[in-house]
Chains A and B, each alone.
Chain A
Amino acid sequence: MRNAVIGIGNLLRADDGVGIHVVKILKEEMPEVDAVDLSTANIDLLDHIRNRNRVIIIDATTTGAEPGTIHRLEPEELVESDFGQSHGLNLPGILKLGKQLYPYEMPGKIVILAVEAQDVESFSSDLTEKVQVAMPKLIKMIKRELE
């Protein structure tokens, strides 16, 4: 089974697009991996994590840490919501649904690498410098997760 790296984020909202930027690079650098530009963490995520060995999800976040900081999370650390409000499910919800519907097709390992963003408001398709600088480290971390 193949591994997948899934980029979540809005390419037009500066650092919010970090996951999409990294997917573009991985498509060149790691052809053996399914690099997916998904944009929104909605139910479509299920199509891309089923029947995969390992899955790495890349997203931006704003926790107040230094921009460019990379947070490593596992799904169990995320909070399950009531699923009732948004246009889809959140990640724990999608995984729960996946386990209910396709118990034998879920990946063995899922890791979320969330990059601390500086700017997720401006309409820009460029990353800020601090996030740009973190890209090589991010790619190194992805490769290590997939080793």
Chain B
Amino acid sequence: MKTVTIDPITRLEGHGKIAIFLNDEGNVENAYLQVPELRGFERFCEGRRAEDMPIITPRICGVCPVAHHMASTKALDAAYDVAPTPTAKKLRELMYSGYYVYDHTLHFYFLGAPDFVVGPDAPPTERNIFGVLKKVGLDVGKEVIKHRAYGQRVIEILGGKATHPTSGLPGGVSKGLNEEERKEIEEMARSSIEFARFTLRVFNDVVLGNKGYVDLILSDPYQLKTYNMGLVDENNRVNFYDGDIRVTDQKGREHDRFQAKDYLDYISEHVEPWTYSKFTYLKDVGWKGLKDGKDSGIYRVGPLGRLNAAEGMATPLADEEYKRMYKTLGGKPVNSTLAFHWARLVELLYATERTLELATDPEITGTGLRNPVGKPGEGVGVVEAARGTLYHHYKLDSEGLVEKANLIVATTNNYAPICVSIRDAASGLIKGGKVSEGLLNKVEMAFRAYDPCFACSTHSLPGQMPLAVEIYDSRGSLYKRLERNLS
């Protein structure tokens, strides 16, 4: 058997390796992605003061610290049996909307757009932000930097600190909003809505206006019929901060609907010997290996998972875009992995509209910021991180120290589907042991759509992730090697 390995290596750590296994005929049999392990982190949390968790857990990763801060704060609400005040709840959601504006903007222009705006077959040296800027112009680049900074500024105003917010407390928040700050956020939100609409127009013109790209989105190697998961409000609209966890099936029907505290009744974890990370799956359907279909319990989270698991968006402009996306791509659910990019932009528009709604809510400058906490116990907090559903589960002792912590991060939820998507994308490009030129690009496109978080617990200077493809023969010796950016 031959093995193809695509290995993104940071200078400090070698996480995030892709391995593609070929059968004796030289065709793709399976594909695996090793994601960063969080082993040891839970133990690191044990014995710490509960109120430190929202400060510690965002340090796991530099990519989505706000999501960890929020999931952690909500887990403490539950563990101390207290709900945030109405103002505190809105302030948290406002900060969280800022995080989405920041994160989704960054993902589209820096990671998603290079594949589409520059083109999937463009050389890697051009498939980057500079290639995008060449096409859309430097002024658009400045708008990207500006609106991404607006998202950061919202987080800074409400969280006390841009990258690692510190405002979340069980039962509320430590910092309110004054009128001057509220006005600043309102102005940024109005500008951000226009920016999000502009971005959707770019997507419409450049991607949907190109038949080749639409065909690529709808092509077989990028289709995956899994269950979908996401938080919804009482009207089954997408919600990033709160609500029930809804799971829909391959036909778009509701399969499960549950509260965070019951997650262990619905989700199980499967272990494979070749990777540190676990695979999550739906308990009632069961683990059937790395395959899709209604008999396999794997599910997708993140932008497309959320949109599929919901029945619409809670704001008017985003809801229009939601409907347009499903109409264009042939109804619900959409199973095309590359539609994650479109779904992300629908969510960006929602996040900007929601920021404005909350910034103009009469309660948002209220002074009731915290409810008194109860006795320490056990609690589960769930939020939608930009990359998908994120669970924090703590068990506290009577002194309020952490006895046990369990975290399920977005990329773990998406782990099995990512592996299947990589396999399917590779299958079309490796035949009889012959590896096509575009393999790296197409496989990358498959996993980049999910935006898996390689950065979890790692970073590097200068921060590059080189790629290597290694092909081994059946005896395990190196047969061929393709690489770039390896020094």
Contact = CB atoms under 8 A, between A and B. Distances in A.
Contacts of B8: 85
Contacts of B485: 81-82, 85
B162 A41 contact: no
A98 B282 CA distance: 46
A37 B58 CA distance: 13
A10 interface: yes
B128 interface: yes
A44 to B, nearest CB: 7
B83 interface: no
A84 B487 contact: no
A41 to B, nearest CB: 5
A10 B124 contact: no
Interface in A14-42: 16, 37-42
Interface string A69-84: 0000000001101111
B43 to A, nearest CB: 7
Contact of B164 (A16, A37, A121): A37
Contact of A91 (B56, B60, B141, B461): B461
A84 B43 contact: no
B133 A100 contact: yes
B59 A88 contact: no
B164 A47 contact: no
Interface in A88-105: 88-93, 96-97, 100-102
Interface stretch (B313-321, B368-376, B451-459): B451-459
Contacts of A10: 59, 62, 457-459
A112 interface: yes
7 contacts: A10-B59, A41-B462, A62-B12, A79-B462, A82-B125, A87-B110, A123-B40
A84 B459 contact: no
Contact of A87 (B56, B162, B455): B455
A42 B60 contact: no
B142 A101 contact: yes
A101 B163 contact: no
B461 A84 contact: no
Contacts of B164: 37, 39
Closest 8 CB pairs of A and B: A40-B62, A81-B464, A85-B465, A90-B462, A83-B128, A123-B44, A90-B463, A59-B461
A12 B36 CA distance: 15
B149 interface: yes
A120 interface: yes
B442 interface: no
Contacts of A44: 152, 162-163
Interface residues of A, number: 49
B114 interface: yes
Given A16-B12, A59-B461, A89-B129, A79 B487 contact: yes
A82 B124 contact: yes
Given A39-B163, A101-B142, A82 B44 contact: no
Interface residues of B, number: 54
Main SS at interface, chain A: loop
Contacts of B459: 8-10, 16, 39-41
B66 to A, nearest CB: 12
B149 to A, nearest CB: 6
B457 A13 contact: yes
Contact of B106 (A43, A112, A114, A123): A43
B463 A89 contact: yes
Q: Name the residue in B110, B124, B463 with the highest tally of chain A Cβ atoms < 10 Å from its Cβ.
A: B463
B458 to A, nearest CB: 7
Given A12-B457, A79-B462, 17 more contacts: A8-B459, A11-B59, A43-B106, A59-B461, A60-B12, A60-B461, A78-B462, A81-B466, A85-B8, A86-B454, A86-B464, A87-B454, A90-B461, A100-B138, A101-B145, A102-B142, A120-B13
Given A12-B60, A101-B142, A120-B13, A84 B462 contact: no
Contacts of B461: 8, 41, 57, 59-61, 78, 90-91, 112, 114
A107 B348 CA distance: 32
B40 A82 contact: no
Contacts of A124: 44
B106 A39 contact: no
B467 interface: yes
Contacts of B59: 10-12, 39
Interface string B418-460: 0000000000000000000000000010000000011101111
Interface string B103-143: 00010001100100000000011011110010000100110
Interface string B1-34: 0000000101111000000000000000000000
Contacts of B462: 41, 78-79, 81, 90-92
Contact of B141 (A39, A61, A101): A101
Contacts of B56: 12
Among the interface residues B127, B141, B465, which one has the most CB atoms of the partner chain A within 10 A? B465
B208 interface: no
